[in-house]
Amino acid sequence: MAMTDHRLIAALTVFLAIAAATSVSGAAERLDPQSIKLPQMTPELNVGKLNYDAKCAACHGLNTAGTDQGPTFLHRVYHPGHHGDRAFYLAPKNGARAHHWRFGDMPPVAGITDSQIEKIIGYVRAVQAANGLF
Ligand code: HEC
């Protein structure tokens, strides 16, 4: 009987360790920017990329790869069905509380306009699509 209890506890410990390792993480979500496929660029997407590189890439990474300051947008939680375009307007304007990861809060992005955000969304969605997120 005691033997069985020990085995049960050992199995449970392993299960909990795996659950903890796969649920929430920080820097583990970072990708290699060079491994990311770029979409067929258009003038509109180029404007989006320029704005993205200037205002978002410091944390969300070159080609949306992520950094140790912020998550990649190629993670499934940033699929448009989960974080729709509205989230992309709100986060730069108001900032975002840390809730998916352990990078800390996202501060508001100073001086960003709706039209810049619109172009950034177009670029991020195109990179997501090029990499099979949807
Ligand atoms: C100073 C670092 C930093 C910058 C700059 C930054 N972000 Fe973020 N962003 C973060 C972090 C960190 C999170 C993750 C918060 C969490 O969920 O734990 C995040 C999350 C987000 C989210 C998800 C918000 C939500 O509702 O969960 C969106 C959308 C986003 N960022 C868009 C942008 C865009 C667009 C830009 C550029 C205009 C940008 N971010 C610039 C750090 C940054």
CATH number (domain holding residue 82): 1.10.760.10
pLDDT of residue 29: 72
| pLDDT reading at 22 higher than 70 | no
pLDDT of residue 23: 46
Ligand 1 centroid to 120 CA: how many Å? 12
| pLDDT reading at 13 higher than 80 | no
In a domain, 67, yes or no: yes
Residues at CB less than 6 angstroms from ligand 1: 55-56, 58-60, 69-71, 83, 87-88, 91-92, 96, 98-101, 103-104, 106-107, 109, 112, 120
Which ligand 1 atom sits closest to the C-alpha of 124? 35
Which of 25-38 are b and which e, b meaning 16 or more Cβ less than 10 Å from the residue's Cβ?
ebeebbbeeeebee
In a domain, 8, yes or no: no
Do residues 78 and 131 lie in contact, with contact meaning Cβ atoms separated by under 8 Å? no
Task: Tell me the residue type at 90.
Answer: L
pLDDT > 70: percent of the chain: 79
Question: What confidence tens digit (pLDDT) does each residue in 46-99 have?
Answer: 999 999 999 999 999 999 999 999 999 999 999 999 999 999 999 999 999 999
In a domain, 6, yes or no: no
- Overall domain count for the chain: 1
Which ligand 1 atom sits closest to the C-alpha of 58? 5
In a domain, 13, yes or no: no
In a domain, 125, yes or no: yes
Give the separation between CA 43 and CA 124, rounded to whole angstroms.
15
- Full residue range of the structural domain in which residue 36 is found: 26-130
**Average pLDDT of the chain to the nearest whole number:** 87
